[in-house]
A and B are shown apart, each in its own frame.
Chain A
Amino acid sequence: GDSVTQMEGPVTLSEEAFLTINCTYTATGYPSLFWYVQYPGEGLQLLLKATKADDKGSNKGFEATYRKETTSFHLEKGSVQVSDSAVYFCALGNAGNMLTFGGGTRLMVKP
């Protein structure tokens, strides 16, 4: 079955540091890939998505590229802010618009 594996957190960075959160997946067919973000006390919000190989999703300075050859969708940001502190979830969407989530990675950004 489909599965998503994320790097375990927490990831602790200083403000303006470079961020990478690794995500790899196993899926049949040609899934869409997503990053969702969950701020404390809130629901999940879509951060970015990519629907086919080599697509790059981007939003709010975050980027991720759909790499079919390595089955990866790593999240990156060049300069993180304290306000980026949250839990980030990688997910894949397959037939029937079903989402399979990774376990989440907590990011903590210190001033």
Chain B
Amino acid sequence: EAGVVQSPRYKIIEKKQPVAFWCNPISGHNTLYWYLQNLGQGPELLIRYENEEAVDDSQLPKDRFSAERLKGVDSTLKIQPAELGDSAVYLCASSFAGENIQYFGAGTRLSVL
């Protein structure tokens, strides 16, 4: 069974440019999470989806970050415009609804120059 797939694995952009990350969760997983992981720190939740509905986006900086999960399967996280401080690893995870085990993708490492 395929795990959580994220792309790209690495992205280098200049500040003020837009960037997008894609995540395909494990088949059948209703719940999808986007996390931010700064260097040397644990992941911090940005947004959580139950199917296509964003049920917790309180930590998402909405002035520049947006996310969508239109068909309740794969998801896209976008930053526009990117700032130097956005350099980090962006992790996607998924789980069955009501289950407390989350499965993580390998992440996208973003470098903003």
Contact = CB atoms under 8 A, between A and B. Distances in A.
A45 B104 contact: yes
Contacts of B105: 43
A67 to B, nearest CB: 19
A45 to B, nearest CB: 7
A61 interface: no
B31 A97 contact: yes
Interface residues of B, number: 25
Interface in B63-107: 91, 93, 95, 98-107
A44 B93 CA distance: 9
Interface of B: 4, 6, 31, 40-45, 48, 55-56, 91, 93, 95, 98-107
Interface of A: 4, 32, 34, 36, 41-46, 49, 51, 89, 91, 93, 96-99, 101-104
The 6 closest A-B pairs by CB, nearest first: A101-B42, A43-B104, A44-B104, A93-B100, A43-B106, A97-B100
